Amino acid sequence: MSNRPHAPPPHFIALDGREVDLLHWMYARSDIKQIHGNPEKVIAAIEEYHTKHNKLMNVGDVKGPTILEIIAQREPSLMIELGGYVGYSAVLFGSALKAHGGKLLSIEINPEMAAVANQLVELAGLRDNVHIMVGASHEVLEELVREKKELKEVELIFLDHWQKLYLPDLWLLEELGVLIPGKSMLVADNVIMPGAPDYLEWVKATPEEKKKLLENADVGIRRPKPELIYETVVPEFDTDFGKDGLAITKVL
Ligand SMILES: C[S@@+](CC[C@H](N)C(=O)[O-])C[C@H]1O[C@@H](n2cnc3c(N)ncnc32)[C@H](O)[C@@H]1O
C-alpha cells in the first residue's frame, strides 16, 4: 500500500521518476535552443532518451508513421487521444495536425504525466494545436459531450491508455452517439501486446455477432450500440517490446 494520499491506481507503470528525468535530461542538452519550436527534434530527443537511457511507453517510430498517414489522409479538425503519457504522440500527431489546421485533445489521468507532456508540447511550439486535459478518459468524454456539449462527433480517436478500458470506453462512445457512420475512425494501440482481446472481438464482429456477445457480457452501466457497423484491420509491427498491432476501425 502506498502511503501517498493521492497515489495513482495500480495499473500505472514506470512511475519510477523516468518521465520527470526525461525533462531534466532534455533541458540539460547543449542543443536545447535548436530543439525549441521544432517538433521533429523533440521527437528525436525523446527517442534518444528511450534508446540510451530509460524505456518509455510511447507509440514510437515503428507504429507512429501509420497513424501519421491516417492523419494526412483524413485531415481531422479534431483528433482525440486517450492516454497522453509524456507527450510523444501529442507532439507527433499535434505537428501533423497543425499542417492542415487541426488540433489534438489528449486526455491523461495522471497529472504528473500531463505536466511533462504539457512542457514538451510547449517546447515543440505546439501550444495552439495540442490541448491536454487531466482526468479519467470516461469522465472527460462524458463531460465534453453531456455537460459542456463541446464534442458532438468523433473524427479520429487514438486509444492508448489501458487495454482493459478500450471496450468500456468504446461502449461509452457508442452510447454518447458521437461515432458517426462514414466519418468516425478509431485507432487502438497495443492490441497484440499486451493485447486487448475483448476490444478486438467487438470491433471485428458484425451487428448480429455483437448482439450475441451482449447476451453474456457484463456491460455495467454502459449502453453499447451493437447496430453500428465496423470495419477493422490490424496491421502488425516489430517494435522494441516485441510484436504488436494497431486496430484501425472505420465506422461504416
Ligand atoms: C501507453 S501510455 C500513452 C502513450 C502515449 N499515447 C504516446 O504514445 O506517447 C498510457 C497512458 O495512459 C494513461 N492512462 C491510464 N488510464 C487512463 C485513463 N483511464 N484515462 C486517461 N489516461 C489514462 C497512463 O497514465 C499513461 O500515461
Q: What angle do CA 111, 114, 117 make, to 5 degrees?
A: 155
1 pLDDT above the threshold of 80: no
pLDDT digits (tens, 9 = 90+) for 182-192: 999 999 999 99
Supply the pTM of this predicted model. Answer: 0.95
DSSP string, 59-89: -HHHHHHHHHHHHHHH--SEEEEE--TTSHH
Q: Which residues contact 186 (CB under 8 A, 6 or more apart)?
A: 154, 156, 157, 159, 170, 173, 179, 203, 247, 248, 249, 251
| Domains, the chain, with CATH or none | 14-59+75-135 (3.40.50.150)
Dist CA 16 CA 18 (whole Å): 6
Q: What residues form DSSP beta bridges with 251?
A: 230
Identify the residue with better confidence: 14 or 133.
133
pLDDT value of position 4: 55
Give the tens place of pLDDT for each residue, 222-248. 999 999 999 999 999 999 889 999 999
Name every protein residue with a CB atom under 6 angstroms from any ligand 1 atom.
Answer: 12, 57-59, 81-85, 88-89, 107-110, 113, 136-137, 160-162, 165
Q: Per-residue confidence at 154, pLDDT binned at 50, 70, 90?
A: very high
What is the number of the ligand 1 atom nearest to the C-alpha of 137? 20
CA of 39: how far to CAs of 42, 99, 132, 190, in Å? 5, 12, 16, 24
* Mean predicted confidence (pLDDT) in 55-75: 97
pLDDT of the residue at 240: 86
Q: Supply the residue whose CA is at minimum distance from atom 10 of ligand 1.
A: 161
User: What is residue 16's predicted lDDT score, i.e. its pLDDT?
Assistant: 86
Cα(113) to ligand 1 centroid in Å equals: 9
Specify the DSSP class assigned to residue 154.
B
pLDDT digits (tens, 9 = 90+) for 86-123: 999 999 999 999 999 999 999 999 999 999 999 999 99
Contact status, residue 208 vs residue 229, Cβ threshold 8 Å: no
**CB neighbours of residue 149 within 10 Å:** 9
List, edge to edge, every strand of the sheet that includes 185-188. 130-134, 103-108, 78-82, 156-159, 185-188, 247-251, 230-233
Residue to probe by mutation, ligand 1, list 162, 167, 191, most atoms within 8 Å of CB: 162
Classified as helix, coil or strand, 47 is helix
pLDDT value at 2 more than 50:
no
pLDDT tens digits, one per residue of 20-30 = 999 999 999 99
